[in-house]
Amino acid sequence: METAFTASYGSGKPVIGFLGEFDALSGLSQKPLETSYKPLENDVGHGCGHNLLGTGAFAAACATKSYLQEHKLPGTVIFFGCPGEEGGSGKTFMVREGVFDNVDAALTWHPSPSNSIMSRPTLANYQVFFRFKGTAAHAANSPHLGRSALDAVELMNVGVNYLREHVVQDARIHYAVTNTGGVSPNVVQARAEVLYLVRAPKVAQANGIFQRVCQIAEGAAMMTGTQLSIEFDKACSNYVPNRSLEKILHRHLVAIGAEKATEEEKHFAKKIWETFTKEEQDYHVELMKGFGYVGDGKELAGKYLADTISAYEESKEIFYGSTDVSDVSWIVPTAQLSAATSTLGTPLHTWQMTTQGLSSFANKGMLRAAGSMALTGLELLTSSEALHQVKNEFNAFSKDNPYTCPIPQDVKPSKVSGHTI
């Protein structure tokens, strides 16, 4: 991957890694610090806050490096520049190629409305292109000579819709028709394409659903007399929390604390809040719970910004999203925190998230995350007891749960990644 990189300092053990993401999303261009939708000419925007994520992780790595340098301590700090999280599973490819093999622990974070530890397991996923090739013909004069690739896509989608009733409860199946075969209705469409994203709590479950989707696609090709080709785009595993590392990270997040918002920040947040639907406003506490928030939101009543640190609890409830951080967590003890950078109720992958990405409140949250991760990294570098406990937990899990990369060896990273994760 041309934009993947590592930067390291120090030597020897332990090796602490900080994971930075920096990719954006198509369709989420937005003028910063506006309280209404104002897209820019460029069609991409940081609707998931990865401009903050990458910078915050880098700041944590720099702070840790400076401490090691100043005190002449042994150990290694590595910053991992990780492209393609937004649908490209960049870290999964990096894991497959052994980039993280010598790392003792990994830390990262994610912007959100909450200050908390991201303690929930996530969904594994497979993303795959299904391409149908038919035969063009005049739709009125000689329709019997045509074989419609678009018909095959539509029949496949209908078949998969019937499959939804017969998969595990927590599975998700999404699709986007990425090629309809043209805009002329009087031409039988010779080529059409659909992109599927299959999610499930475990990789094996996602793979099982994917195999059934492939069978449905084959049936659609048979029904329409078209040819089917399948291109595996990417995949990622489910996230494995390391509770020992999460507790250390939470302790340092509490120590850093959350400062009160300024009047200007409160006013801006209120304006953003007013752009949400009633349903989005009512969902704001549940939204934070996905990022590890513990509580009923009462301490935030009448506020538009989180100015407290959530309590920590181990959670087995699923966060219904996916991340390529998961694959790192299978081979390295990993923990993630979330720092409040946006108005309560702000959903990811929206223009509202993009517009807040350069705010002073977002910048404070980014530095809060950086400080918490840096202090955690330093504790692991200077306390063999803390690192030993983290690695013991990880080794106990790994012993009975060997990692298998969900991306086949012959699949290469996509040059262009912009599909929603």
Burial class, 247, CB count within 10 angstroms (exposed 0-12 / middle 13-18 / buried 19+): middle
Average pLDDT rounded to a whole number, residues 256-273 = 97
Domains detected in the chain = 5-122+238-400 (3.40.630.10), 124-236 (3.30.70.360)
The confidence score (pLDDT) of residue 66 equals 98
Task: Give tens-digit pLDDT for 305-328.
Answer: 999 999 999 999 999 999 999 999
Distances (CA, A) of 47 to 22, 240, 389: 11, 25, 36
Residues 6+ apart with CB under 8 A from 418: 25, 26, 44, 86, 87
Residues 6+ apart with CB under 8 A from 204: none
Q: What is the mean pLDDT of the chain?
A: 96
Average pLDDT rounded to a whole number, residues 139-158 = 97
pLDDT band at 87 (very low <50, low <70, confident <90, very high): confident
| Percent of the residues in the chain that have a pLDDT greater than 70, as a whole number | 98
The confidence score (pLDDT) of residue 417 equals 44
The DSSP letter of residue 371 is: H
Helix (H) or strand (E) holding 373: helix 360-382
pLDDT at 274 over 60: yes
The confidence score (pLDDT) of residue 414 equals 80
Name the residue with tokens 């340092």: 252
- Length of the chain as a residue count: 421
Average pLDDT rounded to a whole number, residues 3-32 = 96
Helix (H) or strand (E) holding 8: strand 5-11
Average pLDDT rounded to a whole number, residues 15-35 = 96
- Half-sphere exposure in the Cβ direction for 411 (13 Å, CA): 23
Residues 6+ apart with CB under 8 A from 39: 29, 30, 31, 351
pLDDT at 419 over 60: no
Average pLDDT rounded to a whole number, residues 183-208 = 97
The confidence score (pLDDT) of residue 416 equals 52
The confidence score (pLDDT) of residue 295 equals 95
The confidence score (pLDDT) of residue 70 equals 97
The confidence score (pLDDT) of residue 333 equals 98
Distances (CA, A) of 84 to 1, 3, 72, 203, 405: 9, 9, 35, 20, 17
Strands 75-82 and 15-21: parallel
The confidence score (pLDDT) of residue 42 equals 85
Task: Give tens-digit pLDDT for 374-395.
Answer: 999 999 999 999 999 999 999 9
The confidence score (pLDDT) of residue 415 equals 66
pLDDT band at 86 (very low <50, low <70, confident <90, very high): confident
Average pLDDT rounded to a whole number, residues 192-205 = 98
The confidence score (pLDDT) of residue 418 equals 42
* Residue 60 near residue 373 (C-beta atoms within 8 A): yes
**Other CB atoms within 10 A of residue 396 CB:** 10
Residue 301, by phi and psi: left (phi above 0), alpha (psi -120 to 50) or beta? beta
Q: What share of the chain is helix, strand, coil (3-state, %, to 5)?
A: 40, 20, 40
Of 59, 104, 12, which is closest to residue 379 (Cα–Cα)? 104
